[in-house]
Structure 1
Amino acid sequence: MLWSIISWIIVGGIAGWIASMIMKKNAQMGFVANVASGIIGAFVVGFLVSFFTEGGGMPDAWSIWGFVAAIIGACLLIWIVTAIRGRSKV
């Protein structure tokens, strides 16, 4: 269990960095925000995948599907945060 959490943190951090480059927010967000968005996005999407699949377990962090799920989750989180920040400034 502990190794799984550590794995998701590592994969989530890498996924957050990649997602920030995909969303063109890498320079604006900074290292800590990149890693945090990846970790949070990875856990959220991992939970959703485990909730909606028959097996009921989170995908393995070191699998290609786990990594893709982490990137998608981080992109969604970056998009949501950007949308909220954009509204509050207007």
Structure 2
Amino acid sequence: MLSLGFFAWIVIGGLAGWLGSKIMGTDEQQGLLMNIVVGVIGGLIGGMILGLVFDVESAGWFFSFLTCLLGSVILLWVVKKLTGSKS
């Protein structure tokens, strides 16, 4: 994931953050910027987790997207648990 350029981080992170917010039911609370932030941070989280098992650096765009999506869902789940949000 870190090998992707800045623009790729924004695009993949934004899409993964948006889809992750749809999955977790937080889409109404997030805007475009927050989706990007969640997706990029999710990419770091997913990369750390999946990096223990797979070579995430050379896996390609699709695997990078799935990594960001997984990390985004985990991040949003943790935030919902910490804030006590029911949505």
What TM-score range do you get, normalising by the shorter chain? 0.7 to 0.9
* Partner SS for 1:4: coil
Q: Could you tell me which runs of 5 or more consecutive residues in structure 2 were left unpaired when the two chains were aligned.
A: none
The TM-score normalised by the length of structure 1 is 0.73
Number of the residue aligned with 1:32: 33
C-alpha RMSD over aligned residues: 2.4
Number of the residue aligned with 1:20: 21
Identity value in percent: 30
Which structure is higher in helix share? 1
Q: Could you tell me which runs of 5 or more consecutive residues in structure 1 were left unpaired when the two chains were aligned.
A: none
Off by >3 Å, runs of 4+ in structure 1: none
The TM-score normalised by the length of structure 2 is 0.75
* Partner SS for 2:57: coil
Q: How many residues align?
A: 83
Q: Radius of gyration: which is bigger? A: 1
Q: 1:35 to 1:53 in 2, by over 3 A?
A: same
CA distance in 2, matches of 1:59, 1:86: 37
